[in-house]
Amino acid sequence: MADRALKKSIEKAIQNPVLTGTLGRFSEAYVIAKAKAYEGIDFEELRSRIAEIKRCTAEHLYELAEEFKKNAEAKGAKVFITNDTEKIKEYILNVAKEKGVRSIIKSKSMASEEIHLNSYLEKEGIEVNETDLGEWIIQLAKQKPSHMVLPAIHITKEEIGELFSKKINEEVRSEIPELVKVARKQLRDKFLNADMGISGANIAVAETGSIVIIENEGNAGLVTTLPKIHIALVGLEKLVANFSDVVPILTALPKSATGQLFTSYVSIITGQSLNTDSSFKDLHIILIDNKRTEMARDPIFKEAFQCIRCASCLNVCPVFRLVGGHVFGHVYTGPIGIILTAWFNGFSKAMNIQQLCIQCGRCKEFCPGKIDIPGLILEIRGRIVKEKGMPFIQKSIFSIVNNRRLFHSILRKASLLQRPFVQEGFIRHLPMFFTEIADYRSLPAIAEISLRDRIKDIKQGNLEEKAVFFAGCLIDFVYPEIGEAVIKILNKAGIEVIFPEEQTCCGAPARYSGALDVADKIVINNINALLKEDVQYIVSACPTCAVSLKYGFISALKTYQKNSFVNKAKEFASKIYDFSSLIYCLVKTKRLKIKSFDRQEAITYHDSCHLKRTLNVYLEPREVLTTAKYEIREMFESDMCCGMGGYYSIKFPEISKALLQRKLKNIRDTKTEMVVMDCPGCVMQIRGGFDKEKDNTQVKHLAEVIVKGI
Ligand code: SF4
Ligand code: SF4
């Protein structure tokens, strides 16, 4: 179970309608705006270029930092590079003391939040004023930013009105133009009277020693030009080798951040500029390390250098839009925030928040830096579990699941013991501490006869081709009828289905919980079991299992240096088909005919996370359903996670419930009577959700629908 404090802050966030409402609306509008902003641009090509540029940064960090220093200093800047965050604060204080600075204005600097600069300078009697509207609101509210580019997104305009009223001692109406007017008036004097300006930077160019700042409000332009001293705090990851590298980053940043085509202002600062009295500005650029060089040296986490801090991953993460940024507890929030917290604050500080990731993969799909964010979060999870271990009960459960004989005999016994709780195939209530798990969805009963026991009675005949069927735990023991449908359909296409008894769990529940060693133990046994027969296909009707078989097994073998087995695993992977893709091919090649039904029923389709985003399969099931003459009425956010996430729904039922309810609403809004999907896990979640709400909408696996038409 997750930490109690984390649970409490999740509950508080979910019950805050302002937070969930604002983030939800922003996230929905963002996806549309972002798609529009990228119209006519090859996003894949652009993000590959950015990834390459930043990969080069990670690989040549030291040289680039030195080159930047040399070139910036040649143009009059003073450059300070350090790993010690205390030294950064001392450096800034020394400059301030030396020049008699009493007042500082700031703009666009997450790095200064990272080192808690404001409170340090304020303790020394220096007035510090944030000037970006969102940051200023946060400063007045004495809070932390909740979002990387929209720091005050969680605060309503009514709350801002109250804050401003207190600040200026008079009533301020909560109308946006009025609020902006107050902020402008209040900040104008601060701009004019400040002795020092502190900014961040979006890019630092080694070739020219320039820093690039993009913004909408124009404050950074004033902060860097009005005071006679300018200090720029820049994380080492902002370095790029060449001036031409600026273009792809500038192209992507506003589009991915807020769905804007361009930002209003771009400032490029190369060396000292002139003050109004013709003296040269005192320009200091501090390149902050704070574990970044360590991160660049890590063979896996160096990928995080590809981040351009656009916050797109926050905007699209289904969990972030539900709980907001403060649940993450540190300066950087959301998906990338989990990774940065682990590095900048220590893995132990990320121990709780890394659990928030349901591994839906949506952030990876949107990231303009092409970072495998869920993969890196899983790596953090794995390293934490490796160091601290896993709760005994959880590890024991996974070990049982992986012990085929024991697991299967427990399930057979459980199918008898569950009888008093089962009604119409569902378990609708569970006693005591299990209540929460079945509180928002009915759970499916374990099948009385598993697929592995049923298959012996299925007559298949002597067919031309052969396929091995990897059922996975849910189809084998909970939904054997889906497995039977798969067998019937493949038989109809002339494929005999073999079910190797020795197959066991694909290891995904353990792998996604960070128990990589437990997950990896079943790899070789499964490969041996499935490759025993000479077949043309290895078929799975569960996308999570298909992903494990295709990718998870190979990476496990590499991790455990079972290199001699990797080639066998590759041969194995080449034969793996998810059910949808195989049926699509069989229909296309006219090996399988699907009859159109008399009744032209409108249905909707739910894209399972692993099928859509890892296997890139989403057109195929739609084509197959259209061949069967179904009218597909697309639901809103058809590829948004339904909240199942395996063990996640047990660990965070409050998040799982909220995600499920949103999905049920989107399905209902299509006004169809049936929702089809390819994943038995999603079937379990969505079918259980509708049953709990006594809604008759049918929830079907694609195989259950197609079998009616063969
Ligand atoms: S990880 Fe990707 S999506 Fe998230 S802030 Fe960085 S570049 Fe943007
Ligand atoms: S994989 Fe999904 S849940 Fe995890 S961080 Fe990314 S978007 Fe959020």
Residue 532: CATH number of its domain: 1.20.1050
Residues β-bridged to residue 64: none
Among 55, 365, 367, 380, which is best to mutate for testing ligand 1, by the most ligand atoms less than 8 A from CB? 367
Q: How many domains is the chain partitioned into structurally? A: 3
Q: Which amino acid is at 46?
A: L
- Domain boundary residue among 542, 565, 586? 586
Nearest-CA residue for ligand 1 atom 4 is 313
How do residues 97-124 score in pLDDT, each as one tens digit? 999 999 999 998 889 999 999 999 999 9
pLDDT at 19: 83
Q: Which two tokens stand for residue 701?
A: 């696996």
Q: Could you tell me if residue 28 is inside a domain?
A: no
Is the pLDDT assigned to residue 190 strictly greater than 60? Answer: yes
Q: Output the CA 529–ligand 1 centroid distance in Å.
A: 41
pLDDT at 597: 63
| Domain coverage including residue 643 | 595-709
The string of DSSP codes covering 131-162 is -SHHHHHHHHHT---SSSS-TTTTS-HHHHHH
Answer yes or no: is the C-beta of 362 below 6 A from any ligand 2 atom: yes
Lowest mean per-residue pLDDT among 55-59, 506-510, 591-595: 506-510
Q: Could you tell me if residue 205 is inside a domain?
A: yes
Q: What confidence tier does 433 reach under pLDDT thresholds 50, 70, 90? A: low
Answer yes or no: is the C-beta of 323 below 6 A from any ligand 2 atom: no
Distance of alpha carbon 308 from alpha carbon 328, whole angstroms: 20
Distance of alpha carbon 563 from alpha carbon 356, whole angstroms: 33
Answer yes or no: is the C-beta of 361 below 6 A from any ligand 2 atom: yes
Ligand 1 atom with least separation from CA of 335: 4
Q: Are residues 653 and 509 in the same domain?
A: no
Ligand 1 atom with least separation from CA of 339: 1
Q: Output the CA 455–ligand 1 centroid distance in Å.
A: 47
Among 50, 256, 315, which is best to mutate for testing ligand 1, by the most ligand atoms less than 8 A from CB? 256
CATH number (domain holding residue 700): 3.40.50.1860
- Domain boundary residue among 269, 291, 313? 291
Ligand 1 atom with least separation from CA of 336: 1
Lowest mean per-residue pLDDT among 61-75, 131-145, 278-292, 333-347: 131-145
Q: Output the CA 616–ligand 2 centroid distance in Å.
A: 17
Nearest-5° angle of CA 264, CA 270, CA 275?
A: 85
Q: Which residue has the higher pLDDT, 438 or 145?
A: 145
Q: Output the CA 369–ligand 2 centroid distance in Å.
A: 15
Buried b (16+ CB within 10 A) or exposed e, 577-597: bbbbbbbbebbeeeebebeee
Determine contact, residues 592/551, Cβ cutoff 8 Å: no
Q: What confidence tier does 598 reach under pLDDT thresholds 50, 70, 90? A: low
Q: Output the CA 579–ligand 1 centroid distance in Å.
A: 33
pLDDT at 401: 77
What's the mean per-residue pLDDT of the chain? 92
Q: Are residues 81 and 220 in the same domain?
A: yes
Q: Are residues 471 and 555 in the same domain?
A: yes
Q: Choose the most confident range, by mean pLDDT, from 438-452, 527-541, 619-633.
A: 619-633
Distance of alpha carbon 521 from alpha carbon 16, whole angstroms: 43
Q: Output the CA 564–ligand 2 centroid distance in Å.
A: 34
Determine contact, residues 658/446, Cβ cutoff 8 Å: no
Ligand nearest to the CA of 610: 2
Q: Output the CA 656–ligand 2 centroid distance in Å.
A: 13
Q: Output the CA 15–ligand 2 centroid distance in Å.
A: 21
Q: Could you tell me if residue 22 is inside a domain?
A: no
**Rounded to whole angstroms, what are the CA distances from 12 to 308, 321, 322, 323, 333?**
31, 14, 11, 8, 17
Kindly state the percentage of the chain with pLDDT values over 70: 98
Is the pLDDT assigned to residue 13 strictly greater than 50? Answer: yes
Nearest-CA residue for ligand 2 atom 2 is 360
**Size of the chain, expressed as the number of residues it contains:** 710
Ligand nearest to the CA of 363: 2
Determine contact, residues 89/120, Cβ cutoff 8 Å: yes
Nearest-CA residue for ligand 2 atom 4 is 357
Q: Output the CA 295–ligand 2 centroid distance in Å.
A: 21
DSSP 331: S
Q: Are residues 482 and 631 in the same domain?
A: no
Q: Are residues 59 and 174 in the same domain?
A: yes
pLDDT at 517: 77
Is the pLDDT assigned to residue 250 strictly greater than 60? Answer: yes
Is the pLDDT assigned to residue 2 strictly greater than 90? Answer: no
Determine contact, residues 134/109, Cβ cutoff 8 Å: no
Show Cβ contacts of residue 327 under 8 Å, excluding neighbours closer than 6 positions.
6, 9, 10, 13, 333, 353, 356
Q: Are residues 63 and 172 in the same domain?
A: yes
Q: What confidence tier does 432 reach under pLDDT thresholds 50, 70, 90? A: low
Kindly state the percentage of the chain with pLDDT values over 90: 71
Ligand nearest to the CA of 319: 2
How do residues 543-587 score in pLDDT, each as one tens digit? 999 999 888 887 777 776 677 777 777 888 889 999 999 999 999
Residue that the structure tokens 């092409």 belong to: 370
Ligand nearest to the CA of 648: 2
Ligand nearest to the CA of 358: 2
305 φ/ψ sector (left φ>0, alpha ψ -120 to 50, else beta)? alpha
Q: Could you tell me if residue 539 is inside a domain?
A: yes
Classify residue 28 as exposed, middle or buried by CB count within 10 Å of its CB (0-12, 13-18, 19+). middle
- Domain boundary residue among 565, 586, 607? 586
Nearest-CA residue for ligand 1 atom 6 is 307
Q: Could you tell me if residue 564 is inside a domain?
A: yes
Q: What confidence tier does 599 reach under pLDDT thresholds 50, 70, 90? A: low
Residue that the structure tokens 């304020």 belong to: 122
Mean pLDDT of 500-520: 84
Distance of alpha carbon 256 from alpha carbon 30, whole angstroms: 9
Q: Which amino acid is at 147?
A: H
Q: What confidence tier does 431 reach under pLDDT thresholds 50, 70, 90? A: low
Q: Output the CA 690–ligand 2 centroid distance in Å.
A: 25
Answer yes or no: is the C-beta of 373 below 6 A from any ligand 2 atom: yes
Give the rounded distance of the alpha carbon of 498 from its chain centre. Answer: 37
Q: Could you tell me if residue 700 is inside a domain?
A: yes
C-alpha closest to that of 548 among 383, 402, 371, 676: 402
Ligand 2 atom with least separation from CA of 356: 3
Q: Are residues 563 and 606 in the same domain?
A: no
Q: Are residues 599 and 483 in the same domain?
A: no
Residue that the structure tokens 């949103």 belong to: 662
Q: What confidence tier does 539 reach under pLDDT thresholds 50, 70, 90? A: very high
CATH number (domain holding residue 96): 3.40.50.10420
Is the pLDDT assigned to residue 504 strictly greater than 80? Answer: yes
How do residues 300-329 score in pLDDT, each as one tens digit? 999 999 999 999 999 999 999 999 999 998
Is the pLDDT assigned to residue 619 strictly greater than 70? Answer: yes
Nearest-CA residue for ligand 2 atom 8 is 317
pLDDT at 556: 76
Residues β-bridged to residue 578: 540
C-alpha closest to that of 62 among 298, 247, 287, 283: 287
The H helix count followed by the E strand count for the chain is 36, 21
Q: Are residues 599 and 582 in the same domain?
A: no
Q: Are residues 97 and 225 in the same domain?
A: yes
Strands 229-235, 282-288: parallel, antiparallel or unpaired by DSSP? parallel
For ligand 1, residues with CB inside 6 Å are 256, 307-313, 336, 367-369, 371, 373
Q: Could you tell me if residue 461 is inside a domain?
A: yes
Distance of alpha carbon 625 from alpha carbon 674, whole angstroms: 12
Q: Output the CA 310–ligand 1 centroid distance in Å.
A: 5
Nearest-CA residue for ligand 2 atom 6 is 363
pLDDT at 1: 46
Give the rounded distance of the alpha carbon of 313 from its chain centre. Answer: 6
C-alpha closest to that of 703 among 483, 546, 537: 483
Q: Could you tell me if residue 190 is inside a domain?
A: yes
Q: Are residues 94 and 239 in the same domain?
A: yes
Q: Which amino acid is at 669?
A: D
For 445, the 3-state DSSP assignment is coil
Q: Are residues 123 and 260 in the same domain?
A: yes
Q: Output the CA 641–ligand 2 centroid distance in Å.
A: 10
